[in-house]
């Protein structure tokens, strides 16, 4: 059975929202938190490459994403999603766990480090840091909350294959990726997240970003790792250098031929993840 064939399970948050998650593998738990518009399927490729006989991947669909309930749009924010993540651990009777956070998931992980560090045993960031490049924000602005401009998965895969920063990605990988990214109905492809996510983005777009370095510093004392797409438009090389200077012990790899974000089954990414998992108490 693969991660995608693993049925969703559900729990209710403290404000009454029914959230979905997948619980895959066995052994030490790893809480997997996805990107802004993504869901538990983000970790399909990792699950296929990781030893899941000794690692248990707990993958959350945030509120308003995937199989989870839609929620009031004002609750689509990082602090609320951090609370939801901790409530999932509570639901599973898991006192502490490491987090693998892709993009938005990494921001959530750093927020948890600031608010409830005692629940964490480590954080692995996938192409995210305390500074977000303006180029990446502009890219998000082009698609967030907007209906997909294509009708079929094949067409979507062809367009995804032109994403800047990516090279040497086989066509079948792009096809699998768009199956994770979109739903399908009689009219064609549809978003598998609440378009109301756009509202919070628009409300803050153009405003100065908050200083997130205190969140990064909140991870002090925890094992941490960073995977960066070598061509990322979200996490710049300059910010990466600052992070590595601040945390010289950080496990790190730059994944060639990848933008935002690496798929996590690339050899360099897997090496970081496996080294990180071995460092977890």
Please tell me which residue, 205 or 183, carries the higher pLDDT value.
Answer: 183
Kindly report, residue by residue over 224-279, the tens digit of the pLDDT. Answer: 999 999 999 999 999 999 999 999 999 999 999 999 999 999 999 999 999 999 99
Spell out a b/e string for 149-171, using b for 16 or more CB atoms within 10 Å of the CB, else e. Answer: ebeebeebbeebbebeebeeeee
Find the mean pLDDT for residues 215-220: 98
Phi, psi at residue 160, to the nearest 5°? -60, -35
The pLDDT value recorded for residue 114 is: 98
Please tell me the predicted confidence (pLDDT) of residue 170. 96
Span 148-181, pLDDT tens digits: 988 999 999 999 999 999 999 999 999 999 999 9
Query: Could you give all domains of the chain from N- to C-terminal order, each with its CATH number?
Result: 9-145+211-279 (3.40.50.1820), 147-192 (no CATH)
Q: What is the gyration radius of the CA atoms in the chain, in angstroms? A: 17
For 173, list phi and psi in degrees, rounded to 5.
-70, -45
Residue showing tokens 């895969």: 157
Q: What is the pLDDT of residues 24-40, one digit of tens each?
A: 999 999 999 999 999 99
Torsion angle of the four alpha carbons 255, 274, 136, 111, in this order, in degrees rounded to the nearest 10 = -160
Q: What pLDDT sits at residue 113?
A: 98
Tokens, residue 209: 């970003």
- Distance (Å) of CA 236 to CA 33, 64, 241: 21, 29, 9
Of 150, 169, 276, 274, residue with least CA distance to 223: 276
Indicate if the pLDDT at residue 200 is higher than 90. Answer: no
Average pLDDT, the chain: 95
In this structure, the strands spanning 120-126 and 97-102 are parallel
Structure letter (DSSP) for residue 60: E
Q: For the whole model, what pTM was predicted?
A: 0.97
């Amino acid at each position: 059975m693969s991660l995608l064939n693993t049925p969703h399970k559900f729990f209710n948050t403290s404000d009454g929202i029914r959230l979905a998650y997948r619980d895959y593998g066995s052994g030490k738990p790893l809480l997997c938190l996805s990107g802004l518009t993504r869901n538990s399927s983000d970790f399909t490729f990792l699950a296929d490459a990781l030893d899941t006989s000794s690692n248990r991947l707990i993958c959350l669909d945030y509120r308003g994403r995937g199989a989870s309930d839609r929620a009031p749009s004002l609750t689509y924010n990082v602090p609320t999603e951090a609370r939801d993540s901790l409530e999932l651990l509570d639901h599973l009777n898991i006192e502490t766990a490491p987090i693998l956070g892709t993009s938005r998931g990494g921001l959530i992980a750093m927020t948890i480090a600031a608010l409830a560090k005692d629940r964490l045993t480590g954080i692995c960031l996938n192409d995210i840091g305390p500074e977000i490049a303006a180029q990446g924000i502009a890219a998000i602005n082009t698609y967030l909350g907007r209906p997909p401009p294509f009708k079929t998965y094949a067409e979507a895969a062809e367009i995804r294959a032109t994403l800047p920063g990516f090279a040497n990605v086989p066509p079948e990988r792009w096809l699998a990726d768009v199956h994770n990214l979109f739903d399908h109905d009689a009219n064609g492809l549809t978003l598998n997240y609440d378009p109301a996510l756009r509202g919070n983005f628009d409300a803050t777009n153009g405003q100065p970003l908050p200083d997130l370095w205190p969140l990064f510093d909140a991870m002090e004392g925890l094992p941490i790792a960073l995977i960066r797409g070598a061509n990322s438009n979200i996490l710049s090389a300059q910010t990466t250098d600052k992070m590595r200077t601040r945390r010289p012990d950080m496990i790190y790899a730059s994944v060639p031929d990848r933008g935002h974000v690496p798929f996590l089954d690339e050899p360099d990414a897997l090496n970081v993840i496996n080294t990180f998992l071995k460092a977890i108490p």
